[in-house]
Amino acid sequence: MGDVYLAWTGLRLVAVKILHPHYASDATFVAMFLAEARVAGKINHSAIAQVLDVGVDAGRLYMAMEYVAGHTLDDLIADSSLPGQMLFPLRLGTTVFANVAQALAAAHRAQIVHRDISPHNILISDTGALKLIDFGIARTQNTDSRTSPGTFRGRFGYMAPEYVQGHECDHRVDLFALGVVMWETFTRRRLYGGAAAAQLYAVIERPAERLDAVLPDFPPRLADVVARLLERDPNARYQHATEVADELEGLLPELPDGGFRNLAHWVDSNLSKRVEARARADHADMQAAAEEDSIGAESFEPIVEVTAGGSVRVAPPTASSPSASRWGLALGLGGLVLGLAALVIWILGRVPAAGSPPPAPAPAPEFAAAAVPAPAPIPPEIEAPPPTAPEVAPEAPPEVPEEPELAIEDPEVKDTRRAPASEDSAPKRPRSTKKDSTSRRSERISSVTQPLKPATEPTVAAPTIAKPAVVPVTIPSIAPPPPPPPTPAPAPVPRTPRVPASMLGDEAQGGKVVGQCNACHAEKQKRRIDGKHMTRKQWERFFRNGTHDRYLSLGGRLSLSDLAAAKAFLSARALDASQDQSAGVR
């Protein structure tokens, strides 16, 4: 009839059921939805999930209910990872169904008939509490006990024979369904399986086997209680749920406990990892919702004022009290003023005063000078004092047409910066007078870098800097590195076997295979395989096309027969399977 969401109220987590939009226009489903809220709201029992609110939002009907973090009894029965032939030890299982019988007794006292007692609607919480849920098709005793002809509401395998045959029925139909659930919980298999017609026929015509004939060493007295609940004649059954609860509680002392003190101890021993994972997930969701609510959330603290006369006045909660607003405004302005003052001080510290000299450049670090080696000192040129009477070379004969360049040679001082000119390379000069030749010689003498030194002074030879020899350097050729070895291609993952449509599998074996799949999914933090809400046609396509490999590689870990068995198990519990229809089939 609807979707169920986990929701946050600001104080705790709740479950919110929202009616499907295509049902909202059907008066029958709307009446059933509202009747569930009214019916469940009338019953106050610890083993029945409470309805907290019901209403309409944006044209959609919703119902807020108590959130029960746990597992349905149907999930636990089908989970092959849980040890033991029976789901619970005898004493613990008997205690569970005694609590269910007490919850039914509370509903029957309120004139409410559940009409959908099944393992799907019995929850085992993570704290070891038991909760009965889903009163969607419940009715009151003062309404017509017969449904419209050809219409069944509930799951076929749990309907009482008088209800299937269209006879008048009452609260004892819940007791028959309780007997079916007890039989399936102790044996961990379906009592009335198969297609819809086969289930209805078996309910009417085939008597259920006794538990002490199916399970070895099963207590006969407990088998008698279950057999009496499964009587076809409603007058042969227990007439009230309180009788069932009293009978079961009287059997507890003689039943073995299997080493478990109570249901909470059993949950902690067998489901601890799942409980911890769910608790972490719920805590994370609650923290995220609380953080979203805290953004712009209004204050829920009321304003309490005591007057002079001693009376107390409680003002309704507002977004924020006036005093809190004033304090917040004052703190905000104070922070703004402090920030502006800090900005002004920083700006003034950056601007230099008028007339102040510019800051001296920072000295270069010592290591900078040490890093570059200083050039070798070049000896300064030694200049001779000006001669009193310059020495003049004898004048060349006038008949010589070319005048050689003046060359000054000293045995101890040799000017290496200028080579003497040869006669072949000397330029041609015209004949000149004695006065002109004398002045030219004087200019040449003064232009010499190393003049002659007096004979009394020591001679200093200019250092000769030899040019470094150029040594040819041969750069060896480096061979390129060898290419990396080719990476071997990953081994191909074996293809998941495809189950043909004509292949039929063992449904009982399929439950064990699905249990193995669920254990693998829990390890890889994937959704449970039997938690997928798909039709039988979708399950058929799932196993025929290898859809599994698209989101989790399966490979060759399961054989073809295992997959066929899993397909049979999941198809029997598909959305359009007869035993999983809670809204009724016309």
Q: Are 241 and 117 in contact (CB under 8 A)?
A: no
DSSP 7-25: EE-SSSEEEEEEE-HHHHT
The span from the CA of 292 to the CA of 296, in Å, is 9
According to DSSP, residue 234 is labeled G
CB-based contacts of 188, cutoff 8 Å, min separation 6? 77, 85, 86, 87
What tokens does 94 get? Answer: 């008997």
CB-based contacts of 582, cutoff 8 Å, min separation 6? 1, 116, 120, 134, 136, 137, 153, 154, 155
Burial class for 21, CB neighbours closer than 10 Å (0-12, 13-18, 19+)? exposed
Angle among Cα 155, 157, 160 to the nearest 5 degrees reads 90
Beta strands in 293-447 (DSSP E): 303-306, 312-315
Alpha helices for 351-428 (secondary structure H):
366-371
| Bridge partners (DSSP) listed for residue 3 | 18
Task: For CA atoms 265, 271, 273, 274, give the dihedral sign.
Answer: negative
Cα→Cα distances 248→124, 232, 243, 259, Å: 19, 21, 9, 19
The span from the CA of 506 to the CA of 512, in Å, is 10
Phi and psi at residue 388, in whole multiples of 5°?
A: -70, -40
Q: Are 123 and 15 in contact (CB under 8 A)?
A: no
Q: Are 516 and 528 in contact (CB under 8 A)?
A: no
Sheet holding 70-72, edge to edge: 70-72, 122-125, 130-132
- SS3 category, 121: helix
Q: Kind and range of the H or E element at 340? A: helix 322-350
Angle among Cα 548, 552, 558 to the nearest 5 degrees reads 65
Of the candidates 53, 57, 75, 116, the residue annotated as catalytic is 116
The span from the CA of 542 to the CA of 566, in Å, is 11
DSSP 154-206: S-GGG--HHHHTT----THHHHHHHHHHHHHHHHTS-SS-SSHHHHHHHHHHP
| Identity of the amino acid at 575 | L
Other CB atoms within a 10 A radius of the CB of residue 348 amount to 9
Q: Which residue has the tokens 């209805």?
A: 200
Q: Are 15 and 4 in contact (CB under 8 A)?
A: yes
The span from the CA of 499 to the CA of 375, in Å, is 90
Q: Catalytic: 116?
A: yes
The span from the CA of 387 to the CA of 454, in Å, is 10
What tokens does 175 get? Answer: 């007791």
Active site residues: 116
